[in-house]
Amino acid sequence: MKLNNLIGQRFGRLTVISKSHKQMTHWFWKCLCDCGTETIVQGNNLRNGHSKSCGCLRSQIVSQRSLISLTGRIFGKLTVIEKADLQDGISGDAHSQWRCYCECGNTTVTSSRFLLSGHTKSCGCLRKNNGTLYVVGANHPNWKGGISSENRRIRNSADFKYWREAVFKRDKWTCQKCGRKRRLHPHHIKAFALYPELRFAVDNGITYCETCHVSYHTEERINQKEAKKEASKNE
């Protein structure tokens, strides 16, 4: 196609109005989009079909995808719970964001494009080592004979899942310490091991993000060690 023949030609939603400028060996053209927006496009991108609109076509496709509900669908270890606000999800990602429950017990917010493409399959707990998952359970080198098997059974039970869901909903899926809404953990205010009768009491639960939850237990361990040291000095 000759250079002058681009004027008046239509490429997708774009109609070439006039030449714009030349950069290096490439000509750029002023185009009118069907949406009414004028834009400057490189000639090669028009010819090869890379540019078909001023950008409104991509926005429309993203908008249409956001209407597709993923609620209830399973992607790897993730089960989609509900649609999340854009600000709670991946920064700068215009795709719809979804709050998911991971089999490990955490929650996370991720983009529909990562779920549908298979890029995201867990909250981050699913790590690969040369294509295989890290070994767990009896095959792990630190296995201690199943000491915590009973606790694990309880935490994987339906009652525990209902409790966790109720705590998250009450706290509006928000960490009650820092305000984050990703990688949430349900925390027992009165210890899980010491107060078995309160394990499924919603008012005994509070929502923390992963960072705040780890920080809480780290401080707790430090305080316990200091208390033991102080007690031994007084003996």
- Domain ranges across the chain: 3-62, 69-134, 157-235
CB atoms closer than 10 angstroms to residue 200: 17
The dihedral built from the CA positions of residue 26, 54, 61 and 111, taken in this order, carries a sign that is positive
DSSP 118-155: TS--SSS---EETTEEPP-GGGSTT--SSTTHHHHHHH
pLDDT digits (tens, 9 = 90+) for 108-125: 888 888 888 888 888 888
pLDDT digits (tens, 9 = 90+) for 130-186: 334 444 444 444 444 544 567 777 877 888 888 988 999 999 989 999 998 888 889
Q: Is the pLDDT of residue 89 over 80?
A: no
| pLDDT of amino acid 144 | 47
Token pair for 146: 């199943």
| pLDDT of amino acid 66 | 57
pLDDT digits (tens, 9 = 90+) for 2-24: 455 788 999 999 999 998 898 88
Single pTM value for the model: 0.47
Q: Is the pLDDT of residue 42 over 60?
A: yes
| pLDDT of amino acid 137 | 45
